[in-house]
Structure 1
Amino acid sequence: MADPIDCRKEFQNMKISVCGKGGSGKSTVVTFLAKQALRKNLDVLVVDADDSNAGLARMLGFDSHPLPLMDLVGGKAMIKKKMGSQSLLSQAQIRIGDFGPDFIRRNNGLALVGIGKILQTMEGCACPMGVLNREFLKKLTLEPNQIALVDMEAGVEHFGRGIDEAIDKVVVVVEPSFDSLQIAAKIRNMAFSMDKKVVAIVNKSPSEAISQKIEQQLARDGLTAIGVLPHDPSVFEACLTGHVPDQGEAFEAVNGVLDRLLAA
């Protein structure tokens, strides 16, 4: 295994959204990217913006989730009234160091915050969380050598809510399926309409031949694949326990993918 590259001499900061079809492996890719970025001596903030995925904290190695940022405004019912009241979210700029311990998890350069989850029936739509997420990402101010990885909700609704407005680069995770390719094409069009750079990562590929077919279709849809993560049985086995391994073929493939992502 090659020694990790120190990116601090040449890298400033970046906000990166990771999106795609549900089940394509977005959260696994976010976890891999975060762990590889730490190996390159970057500080990483992961923003859990998926209102249905409950396992991201465990995948990143934390024992529990932080309290959702939605609680800072009194929950979904109070968001319109309290967004302008005095709190962390009313600041013109929000930095990683501004969070109280209940609302962030930290470990050796890795930090995790969450927007909120749908936890029970009859809660209503996720639009208030979209509003909060959009405003939070606008105000989030990164220091040099910091990256923010945003694990977006599945599909394309986050574009309609303007959540990606403050994002520097959009990554779409594509698995070997027709639906995944269709959603990737929609994401590409929406990202381009917002003047955002967008690239693709092929995930769970079973063979080089399949990878080539997916990359060819992505190219026809105007998307560049910056890397391919192979189908890795060790990842699937580990995910049964909620943990994502920091070794194996897929994990090591992310190292080169991250280099290309930061340089793209």
Structure 2
Amino acid sequence: MKIAVCGKGGSGKSTVVTLLANQARAGGYRVLVVYSDESNSGLFRMLGFDHPPVPLMELVGGKKSLKQRMAQPSVLAENRILLEDISPQHLVEKDGLRLVSIGKILQSLEGCACPMGVLSREFLKKLVLKADELAIVDMEAGVEHFGRGVETSVDSVLIVVEPPLESVEVAQKIHDLASGIGVKNVWAIINKVPSEETATKLQAELKKRHIDVVGHIHFDADVFSSSLEGKIPEMG
């Protein structure tokens, strides 16, 4: 299964990706986390890695002439991509958890992130997973990636929602866009919940919008504090 984790900026997507990846790994899955957010660079620390992988964008020589370069010999030119096909340079691994990065915006005037969206879409489309493998995609904030068609290459979309109404409105847009391109599994998880009362209100609001809620995560001061170091606390 390939799961895209989406939501408003600051809703806690990377935290949810990390928790989900660790839980799936504990359940016996071989987990691949795909870092598709071209701006935020700290996910590798949250997952416990010392350094990030070399972005897959470097396999095609960077953003320029992406279409032509993807046809040149590399794993990205194949019709099918298996996890073992990705070189250690572009995939870091630790205790059954793997991480690849699509690419990052590193300089001013570098241009838009559209080529990275294309690469995300094509990589996920070609990625072949075995029965015990799971791909979790940390998407950029908002909905622009739907315009690039990235979610046409995933099985499921998980929307991270936090208490402000604007987060619920973004969730509605994500739900509608995902459903509109035929993604059958579209769920929401409520994050940073201060109370059960708030969780109940948000669940009711999302239900009115026909968005299925699979659970909620309470606000945790330890998680907030650890985020200042780019980590999440060890889960007991």
Q: Classify the TM-score, shorter chain.
A: over 0.9
* Contact preservation (8 Å) 1:15, 1:147: yes
Counterpart check, 1:105 vs 2:84: no
Shift of the alpha carbon at 1:83?
Answer: 1.2
1:115 aligns to 2:102 (yes or no): yes
Q: Secondary structure at the match of 1:75?
A: coil
User: Within the alignment, does 1:175 sit opposite 2:162 as a pair?
Assistant: yes
Give a deviation string over 1:205-244, Cα, whole Å, max 9, x none.
0000100111111011110110000000010011111111
Deviations along 1:37-60, one digit per CA (max 9) or x if unpaired, are 111111100000000111000000
1:210 aligns with 2:205: no
Following superposition of structure 1 onto structure 2, how do residues 15-54 of structure 1 map, counting pairs within 5 Å?
Answer: 15-54=2-41
Q: Given the two structures, how large is their TM-score scaled by the length of structure 2?
A: 0.98
What is the alpha-carbon distance in structure 1 between the residues aligned to residue 210 and residue 181 of structure 2? 15
Q: Tell me the alpha carbon deviations over residues 155-188 of structure 1, each in whole angstroms, 9 at most, x when there is no partner.
A: 0111111000111110000001111001000001
Give the aligned residue type for 1:133.
S
Provide the C-alpha distance between the structure 2 equivalents of 1:53 and 1:221, rounded to a whole number of angstroms: 30
So what's the TM-score if we normalise by structure 1? Answer: 0.88
- The residue number in structure 1 matching 2:228 is 240
Task: Compute the RMSD of aligned alpha carbons.
Answer: 0.8
- What residue is the counterpart of 2:130 in the other structure? 143
Identical aligned residues as a percent: 52
For the pair 1:62 / 2:49, whether they are aligned, the reply is yes
Q: Is the 8 A contact 1:32 1:246 kept in 2?
A: no
Figure out how many residues of one structure are paired with residues of the other and give that number.
235
The answer for unaligned runs of 5 or more in structure 1 is 1-13, 249-264
Task: For 1:89 and 1:50, locate their aligned partners in 2 and report how far apart those are by CA, in whole Å.
Answer: 19
Structure 1 segment 149-188 matched on structure 2, within 5 A: 149-188=136-175
Whether the 8 Å CA contact 1:20–1:173 is kept in 2: the answer is yes
Q: 1:251 maps to what in 2?
A: none
Question: What one-letter code is carried by the residue in structure 2 that aligns with 1:50?
Answer: D
1:194 has 2:181 as partner: yes
- CA contact under 8 A between 1:173 and 1:201: conserved in structure 2? yes
1:80 to partner: Cα distance: 2.2
1:78 CA displacement: 2.8
Q: Which moved more, 1:169-178 or 1:76-85?
A: 76-85
Question: Secondary structure, in 3 states, of the residue corresponding to 1:170?
Answer: strand
- Misfit runs of 4+, over 4 Å: none
| CA–CA distance in structure 1, aligned partners of residues 20 and 234 of structure 2 | 10
Check whether the contact 1:35–1:246 (CA below 8 A) recurs between aligned residues.
no
